[in-house]
Amino acid sequence: MSRRCADCCRDLPESSYYFVSKTSGKLRGQCKDCMRQRKLEQRDPDWTPSCSRCGSRLSVRAGSGRRLCEECFAQTYDTAHPRVNGAHRIKLKPCSLCGGRKERFERGKVCRACRPWLRFASSLRQFGLTPAEYMSIFDAQGGRCYVCGAPPGAIRLSIDHDHSISEMRRSIRGLLCNECNYSRLPRFQDDVGMLQRAVSYLVHPPAQSALADIRHPEAPAPPPPEGVVFFPEIQAGADPQSERSVATASDGHHVASRPGEPPVGSQRRPGARGTSTRSTGRTSGARRREQAGEGDA
Ligand SMILES: [Zn+2]
Ligand SMILES: [Zn+2]
Ligand SMILES: [Zn+2]
Ligand SMILES: [Zn+2]
């Protein structure tokens, strides 16, 4: 059985490797040739060992064993919190949510303080937020949805972000309830101008000011706006299904002028509740409104 030498990368039989120890039977990573070469190099008084992690030459001739440069050492061992007996303490990965120091007894990716945030962790990581930063936004908003003012119920407020900004952390706008985040704001397509017009529309309804401005209410009816078709004409050649739906839609316009014809509803089979039920209901509503309008005029 052959193994590859870590230094010269040759595939050599096991007999060309020294044992680390005869009792364990463990072999060295380097072949005998490379080990001899190393020993020869180390006879040079200027020789210094290299970091066993990154391979950089060390400035001082350190003792035997595994040698790490200062950077690799600081990455591996926790120098800020040494153990009492002087042994090196392996550095644990920081808490994946708050980035704080984790104790050895704290199992898992997050520290003990961050455990209640675990189910929200993916969203926080997506935006690069720590729980403390989320809470500071939450408190700045008064603990409520910014738009509708609803407090978070069983579901936490979600993080709303500007989709036009690619950097997630910079794109965060605030915390919104699901209704505002997924329904209310998207209806306005994040259009500030549209929302401002909607506000002024609600505060000062334009119809009321227009009605107040009418000087001669008894004047004859003006023609409808240019190019506006209130009801589409029946198109010849269309398939009967759509023709019928068009007919029911356009009937509303003609009902008043053709009183002899049966109403729209009577053409339909009584049991048939087809797809056009909604449109018929709408047309009858439109017809009723129009009849009422014509009656008034
Ligand atoms: Zn070798
Ligand atoms: Zn190193
Ligand atoms: Zn944490
Ligand atoms: Zn809301």
248 alpha carbon, distance to own chain's centre:
45
User: Is the pTM for the entire model greater than 0.75?
Assistant: no
Under the banding of pLDDT at 50, 70 and 90, the label for residue 195 is very high
> Rounded distance, CA 46 to CA 89, Å?
32
How many CB atoms sit inside 10 A of residue 234's CB?
Answer: 13
How do residues 108-123 score in pLDDT, each as one tens digit?
A: 889 999 999 999 999 9
255 Cα to the center of ligand 2, angstroms: 90
Please tell me the predicted confidence (pLDDT) of residue 14: 92
Please tell me the predicted confidence (pLDDT) of residue 264: 47
Segment among 30-34, 80-84, 139-143, 201-205 with least mean pLDDT = 80-84
Flag whether pLDDT at 217 surpasses 90: no
Flag whether pLDDT at 272 surpasses 50: no
Contact yes or no for 293/259 (Cβ under 8 A): no
Nearest ligand (C-alpha, residue 178): 4
Instruction: Return the percentage of the chain with pLDDT > 70, whole number.
Output: 77
- 155-177 average pLDDT score: 92
Segment among 113-117, 128-132, 284-288 with least mean pLDDT = 284-288
Indicate the average pLDDT of the chain.
79
- 97-118 average pLDDT score: 88
Flag whether pLDDT at 249 surpasses 50: no
| Domain range annotation of the chain | 1-47, 141-193
Nearest ligand (C-alpha, residue 95): 3
- 209-233 average pLDDT score: 80
Please tell me the predicted confidence (pLDDT) of residue 153: 82
Nearest ligand (C-alpha, residue 34): 1
Nearest ligand (C-alpha, residue 149): 4
Please tell me the predicted confidence (pLDDT) of residue 171: 93
192 vs 48: which has the higher pLDDT: 192
77 Cα to the center of ligand 2, angstroms: 13
250 vs 4: which has the higher pLDDT: 4
How do residues 43-72 score in pLDDT, each as one tens digit?
A: 888 888 888 888 888 877 655 566 788 888
> Rounded distance, CA 125 to CA 95, Å?
12
**3-class secondary structure per residue, the chain:** CEEECCCCCCEEEHHHEEEEECCCCEEEEEEHHHHHHHHHHHCCCCCCCECCCCCCECCCCCCCCCCCCHHHHHHHECCCCCCCCCCCCECCCCCCCCCCCCCCCCCCCCCHHHHHHHHHHHHHHHHCCCHHHHHHHHHHCCCCCCCCCCCCCCCCCEEEECCCCCCHHHHEEEEECHHHHHHHHHHCCCCHHHHHHHHHHHHCCHHHHHHHHCCCCCCCCCCCCCCCCCCCCCCCCCCHHHHHHHHHHHHHHHCCCCCCCCCHHHHCCCCCCCCCHHHHHHHHHHHHHHHHHHHHC
120 Cα to the center of ligand 3, angstroms: 13
Please tell me the predicted confidence (pLDDT) of residue 240: 53
Nearest ligand (C-alpha, residue 157): 4
> Rounded distance, CA 241 to CA 189, Å?
35
31 Cα to the center of ligand 1, angstroms: 4
- 147-168 average pLDDT score: 90
The letter for the amino acid at 131 is: P
Please tell me the predicted confidence (pLDDT) of residue 52: 82
Nearest ligand (C-alpha, residue 114): 3
27 vs 297: which has the higher pLDDT: 27
